[in-house]
Amino acid sequence: MSSAPVFLVDSLAHAEPGAPLTLDGPEGRHAVAVRRLRVGEELVLSDGAGRGALGRVAEVVGRDRLAVTVLERRQEPEPTPRITVVQALPKGDRGELAVSTMTETGVDAVVPWAAARCVTQWKGERGAKALAKWRAAAREAAKQARRLRVPEVAEPLTTAGVARLLAEADFAGVLHETATLPLATAELPTSGSLVLVVGPEGGVTDAELAAFATAGAAGYRLGPTVLRTSTAGPAATALLLGRTARWG
């Protein structure tokens, strides 16, 4: 039996068992026209911030609206330690792929980084559209993974901004192909925040490495092979989750 599909709503403040709710707008249209949900079928409504409600379709109202009866409330606890990946901007749609895969894996936040060697640059309207695509990828992947928490996709940061983020973390690291320390043996805190930087295809510059080292971030390697920037983040997220109680 397949799991109930997840749909995002603005609020679940009144989602008590037995209460009626309405799913409409783009999510309602997707439920009716794409998922073809019918009366009696179950679904999960989520506010994307850890709160959810298992419900049953009471009525299909037109092409874009469902009347739902709440069966039970659900809560996804705050993750600890919290994992943030600083992702250098890749070419094409690889950024969206990275965000989607990291979300399915279990990342908690993604920070776009305009590294010196990034071929892609987010400027003006183009940057706003690219950021919107990353955020949409996180939302859709969270629904696919049955997560009640949609990872935050932050505004893009400069190298100085990333350094400040690293300085505030309980664990800070930079994936770098010439690093000798394996991420698999790094000492990790059991709570707090883990922040890991994934560089661009062209690599992290000496100046960027120096800035991050000053902020307390050591260089780490994943393994003997060099991964694309769009796959390094998901691989590192899985490794960190496996070494904490998150996947225990």
Identify whether the C-beta of residue 50 lies closer than 8 Å to the C-beta of residue 8.
no
Four-point Cα dihedral 34, 39, 40, 42, nearest 10: 30
pLDDT tens readout for residues 127-172: 999 999 999 999 999 999 999 999 999 999 999 999 999 999 999 9
pTM: 0.93
Helix (H) or strand (E) holding 241: helix 229-242
SS3 107: coil
Query: DSSP secondary structure string, 160-206?
Result: HHHHHHHHT-SEEEEE-TT--SBGGG----SSSEEEEEE--TT---H
Task: Put the strands of the sheet holding 218-220 in their side by side order.
Answer: 152-153, 109-113, 82-88, 193-198, 171-175, 218-220
CB neighbours of residue 130 within 10 Å = 20
User: Of 60, 105, 43, 147, whose CA–CA distance to 239 is shortest?
Assistant: 105
What pLDDT is attached to residue 1? Answer: 43
> pLDDT (tens digit, 9 = 90+) per residue, 16-72?
999 999 999 999 999 999 999 999 999 999 999 999 999 999 999 989 999 999 999
